[in-house]
């Protein structure tokens, strides 16, 4: 009897975040953009995370999107599926 390999589907959300750095050799403080990857167990989990944690730049209002596609289109997020 052949062994079945159990696989689990995970979802990875790729986003870009602003970071701050400091260069002691003359330029001092600077900002740069870094890729950030977060792993989730379901698309629903990602949507709930985004609805709770994503704000517009003014930090006073939040988008009221109902789909992951809307968040990805507006904020340049990328969604990947990963098999473990």
**From residue 64, how far is each of 3, 35, 51, 53, 82 by CA, in Å?**
46, 24, 7, 12, 27
The model's pLDDT over 49-65, given as tens digits with 9 standing for 90+, comes to 999 999 988 888 999 89
Please state the pTM of the whole predicted model: 0.76
C-alpha closest to that of 53 among 81, 33, 77: 77
> pLDDT category, 6, cuts 50, 70, 90?
confident
pLDDT beyond 70 at 82 = yes
> What is 39-67 written as a DSSP string?
EES-HHHHHHHHHHH---TTSS-----SS
């Amino acid at each position: 009897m052949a062994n079945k390999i159990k696989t689990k589907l995970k979802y990875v959300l790729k986003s870009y975040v602003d970071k701050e750095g400091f260069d002691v050799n003359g330029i001092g403080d600077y900002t740069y953009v870094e890729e950030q990857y977060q792993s989730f167990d379901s698309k629903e989990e990602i949507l709930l995370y985004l609805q709770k944690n994503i704000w517009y730049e003014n930090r006073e209002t939040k988008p009221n999107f109902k789909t992951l596609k809307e968040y990805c289109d507006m904020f340049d997020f990328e969604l990947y599926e990963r098999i473990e």
